[in-house]
Amino acid sequence: MNKLSQKMGLLATLLSIFAATGCSDFLDESDPSNFTVENYFTQPAHAVSSVNAIYAPMRDPLGSGFGGGAWMMTEFGTGLAATDLGQAVNSYFVKDLRNTSDNGYGQTYWSSYYRGIANANLSLSKIPTITMDAAQAKMLMGEAYFLRAWYYFQLVRMFGNIPLVTEPVNLQSEQLRPTQASVEEVYNLIVADLTTAEAAGLPWTDNTGRATLGAVKSLLSQVYLTMAGFPLQKGASHYSLAAKKAEEVIDSKQFKLFSSYNDLHDPAKKNIEENIFMIQFRAQILPSNWQVSIIPYNKNISQYSDETGGIYATGDFVKSYDPADLRIKEKQFFFTKFTNESNRNQEVDLGGYFIYKHFDPTAQTSTASSDLNWPVIRYADVLLTYAEAANEVSGPATKAYEALNAVRTRAQLPAWTGLSKDAFREAVWRERWYELCFENITWFDMVRLRKAFNVSTKKFDDYVGHRFSYGPTLSARELLFPIPTPEMRNNTNLRQNTGY
């Protein structure tokens, strides 16, 4: 690696470290332009800061404004989301199934997540060269393996055959313009990374938001569940593995469902109880940046100057819930009215079902700086993963019912009993759609199951041929997103996904 590329690469990492820590102590360091990889990775603190940098790109897709936000891509892909933001063309490309490789949302995911992978590769390469406590080094490596697996898990599901880069890259690297790996090869690395992370000595929980054993096992259960379905179709063996890992999380007794849905968007509940793993934000330093997108367009209800109406639930989806379901009561998962910004005694009809589960009342009504984290893995997801996988292995046994019904009971719905295996399967799917909506999960479920929820019949259609309630019909093309145009131009070794 030449001196220029060393400095450029490390400077990018150090800037990521600053964003990840949000700590003024970084300003006490030497001029980053004087660092090279060789002279930076010399102290235990360097190992910690390099791992901090791996977390930072997770935030990028959550940025939202009048151009929309990349995190909306998989939500509009479900057919369950609406928008009033006419200038956010990337949202409409996905929502109306007219997507192209020019969509900036896909570019944000690709570039940000590969930057996270690059940071992980650098940490994994350099931490073993630092003289430091062996247990601490092993745990930091465990975090890096977990995060690399998480990034690859998102990318392989969105884009299919993707480059598999596992070493630091410089301008002379053969992998500067890598070829694509098969989906199975990517999943093999994901499983290997998570298995290594599982043995790294990580604690079950950590209220600072770092990766934990609970997060590793939970993610591994999701990976196995996905591998059991499409496109790999590993079937029974991987349903069994998914059930086993989810059961380990359940049996640990380290996590529990919140008693109130308000806890889902309470900053005091960050990284504890139901929140197994989250993307970290902090008010006034790195505030949550999706608040402007989940409030209605210019209804004057918020302290934020931008009210974009960027994304909300379709009425057809919300009305498909059981009328008794607590989740659709006002200001549970959704809200349809709020007070006027200049007169909090005046109520405003919002004209739609806006997303309350990510809503920060303090930021919206006073500070305009949100302290909320973004949920990545919730205990509710683990319970439903276990219920689905266990049912596929041995039918709806007692423990599978307990997992499913725990989620239903909180929603004030009656517990299921006496279901056939097929009926139980669809009951779990339906609960996943209702419980995990607007958390960047549903579209991934649709693709692994090759199923889509019909909001009129409340049954599940085949993915290909499913018609959204507002008109467009899914084709096989929509099983993947297109590889972004800039990536295709910069790397002629890439092949575009079918139909784009």
- Which of 335, 351, 372 lies at the terminal end of a domain, its last residue? 372
Residue 421 lies in a domain: no
Residue 473 lies in a domain: no
Residue 13 lies in a domain: yes
pLDDT of residue 176: 81
The percentage of residues in the chain with a pLDDT greater than 90, rounded to a whole number, is 90
pLDDT of residue 35: 58
- Which of 372, 403, 420 lies at the terminal end of a domain, its last residue? 372
Residue 305 lies in a domain: yes
pLDDT of residue 194: 99
Residue 292 lies in a domain: yes
- 426-485: pLDDT as tens digits: 999 999 999 999 999 999 999 999 999 999 999 999 999 999 999 999 999 999 999 999
Shared domain check, 307 and 189: no
- 76-114: pLDDT as tens digits: 999 999 999 999 999 999 999 999 999 999 999 999 999
User: Please, which pLDDT band fits residue 496 given cuts at 50, 70 and 90?
Assistant: very high
Domain that holds residue 154: 1-69+101-201+482-500
- 359-411: pLDDT as tens digits: 999 999 999 999 999 999 999 999 999 999 999 999 999 999 999 999 999 99
Residue 273 lies in a domain: no
pLDDT of residue 245: 99
The percentage of residues in the chain with a pLDDT greater than 70, rounded to a whole number, is 93
Does residue 12 surpass a pLDDT of 60? no
Residue-averaged pLDDT of the chain: 93
Shared domain check, 288 and 167: no
- 304-318: pLDDT as tens digits: 999 999 999 999 999
Shared domain check, 60 and 179: yes
pLDDT of residue 169: 87
Shared domain check, 196 and 288: no
Residues 6+ away with beta carbon under 8 Å from 210: 143
Does residue 10 surpass a pLDDT of 80? no
Shared domain check, 16 and 129: yes
pLDDT of residue 19: 41
Residue 141 lies in a domain: yes
Shared domain check, 293 and 152: no
User: Please, which pLDDT band fits residue 203 given cuts at 50, 70 and 90?
Assistant: very high
Residue 105 lies in a domain: yes
The total number of structural domains that make up the chain: 2
Does residue 276 surpass a pLDDT of 70? yes
Shared domain check, 298 and 157: no
- Which of 310, 338, 372 lies at the terminal end of a domain, its last residue? 372
**Cα distances (Å, whole numbers) of residue 362 to 296, 341, 376:** 17, 13, 22
CATH number for the domain that contains residue 144: 1.25.40.890
Please state the pTM of the whole predicted model.
0.94
Shared domain check, 311 and 165: no
